């Protein structure tokens, strides 16, 4: 479904609760775990893909981000989710970004410091979807924990009643968090990438963690502890990976 009025009509007819899963598309089993959770909890599940430049700090990253709507629809169907909503960016942003939402603290740290503007774009898109679709429940992955915290803060600040459901990180057998970007890794690179969560979890002091990652071939964007959680972002041969673990 692409049309904003059409989805509004579909939601009007729904008698039970509505679950929303916002995404950038190119689905994998990590995304599907969110779809399944929403299907289990709600009468109607809307998966929404909004792939627009404001969510990316780097225009080239937006251009090269994998776009797979046909495969995505099959993956949505396989979980029993009801609607894949891909709004026309021009309909969603008719005002050419005159209005955007800005968080001026936490969004400038870690992921935000390394990808300036990214969170303001993501928050603007999610706020628009929340106001447009008025879901009862919003499903977000712990893979993007900083985003999860920022959305929680935004909903509290703007009196949005939608309940936020945080969903655990789904990992490959080797421990690497599933990510759309993993498809850019060769098999040998995937084996190296799997050491990233292991090193993050080892809970060495931050400097030693960085050194250990560099020794394993990663370029480190950041490793930081915040609110009993260790966050990290690394680059392996131009593929950027993020992860986070709970601190004891």
Q: Which residues are catalytic?
A: 31
Tell which positions 155-174 bind ligand AMP, by CB under 6 A: 167, 169-170
The Cα 108–Cα 118 span in angstroms is 9
Q: Which two tokens stand for residue 218?
A: 């990663």
Q: Does 141 bind ligand AMP (CB under 6 A)?
A: yes
CA distances from 199 to 67, 103, 123, 204 (A): 31, 31, 30, 8
For residue 241, list its beta bridge partners. Answer: 234
Q: How far is the CB of 76 from ligand AMP (least distance, A)?
A: 12
Q: How far is the CB of 210 from ligand AMP (least distance, A)?
A: 23
Q: How far is the CB of 167 from ligand AMP (least distance, A)?
A: 6
Count of residues that interact with ligand AMP, criterion CB under 6 A: 17
148 sits in which H/E element? helix 145-157
The Cα 201–Cα 171 span in angstroms is 14
By three-state DSSP, how is residue 68 classified?
coil
Q: Does 179 bind ligand AMP (CB under 6 A)?
A: yes
Q: Does 126 bind ligand AMP (CB under 6 A)?
A: no
Closest among 131, 129, 128, 164 to 147, alpha carbons compared? 164
Q: Judged by CB, which is closer to ligand AMP: 167, or 212?
A: 167
Q: Does 176 bind ligand AMP (CB under 6 A)?
A: no
141 sits in which H/E element? strand 137-141
By three-state DSSP, how is residue 87 classified?
coil
The Cα 99–Cα 69 span in angstroms is 28
* Chosen residue from 10, 31, 111, 200 binding ligand AMP by CB under 6 A: 31
Q: How far is the CB of 16 from ligand AMP (least distance, A)?
A: 23
Stretch that binds ligand AMP, among 60-68, 104-112, 139-147, 233-241 (CB under 6 A): 139-147
Q: Does 48 bind ligand AMP (CB under 6 A)?
A: no
By three-state DSSP, how is residue 230 classified?
strand
Q: How far is the CB of 208 from ligand AMP (least distance, A)?
A: 26
Q: Does 81 bind ligand AMP (CB under 6 A)?
A: no
Q: Does 23 bind ligand AMP (CB under 6 A)?
A: yes
Q: Judged by CB, which is closer to ligand AMP: 34, or 185?
A: 34
CB atoms within 10 A of CB 86: 17
Residue 240 main-chain phi, psi, to 5 deg: -95, 130
Tell which positions 193-212 bind ligand AMP, by CB under 6 A: none
Q: Which residues bind ligand AMP (CB under 6 A)?
A: 23-24, 30-31, 33-34, 140-141, 143-144, 167, 169-170, 177-180
């Amino acid at each position: 479904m692409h049309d904003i009025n059409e989805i509004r009509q579909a939601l009007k007819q729904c008698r039970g609760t509505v679950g929303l899963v916002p995404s950038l598309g190119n689905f994998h089993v990590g995304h599907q775990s969110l779809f399944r959770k929403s299907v289990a909890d709600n009468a109607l599940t809307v998966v929404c893909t909004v792939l627009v430049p404001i969510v990316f700090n780097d225009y080239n990253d937006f251009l090269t981000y994998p776009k797979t709507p046909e495969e995505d629809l099959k993956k949505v169907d396989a979980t029993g989710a009801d609607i894949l909503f891909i709004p026309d960016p021009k309909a969603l942003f008719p005002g050419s970004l005159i209005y955007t939402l800005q968080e001026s603290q936490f969004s400038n740290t870690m992921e935000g410091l390394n990808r300036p503007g990214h969170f303001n774009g993501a928050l603007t898109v999610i706020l628009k979807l929340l106001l447009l679709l008025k879901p009862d429940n919003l499903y977000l992955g712990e893979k993007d924990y900083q985003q999860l915290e920022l959305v929680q803060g935004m909903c509290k600040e703007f009196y949005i009643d939608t309940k936020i459901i945080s969903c655990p990180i789904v990992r490959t057998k080797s421990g690497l968090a599933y990510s759309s970007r993993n498809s850019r890794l060769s098999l040998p690179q995937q084996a190296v990438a799997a050491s990233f969560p292991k090193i993050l979890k080892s809970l060495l002091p931050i400097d030693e963690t960085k050194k250990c990652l560099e020794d394993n071939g990663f370029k480190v964007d950041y490793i930081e502890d915040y609110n009993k959680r260790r966050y990290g972002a690394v680059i392996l041969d131009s593929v950027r990976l993020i992860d986070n673990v709970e601190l004891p």
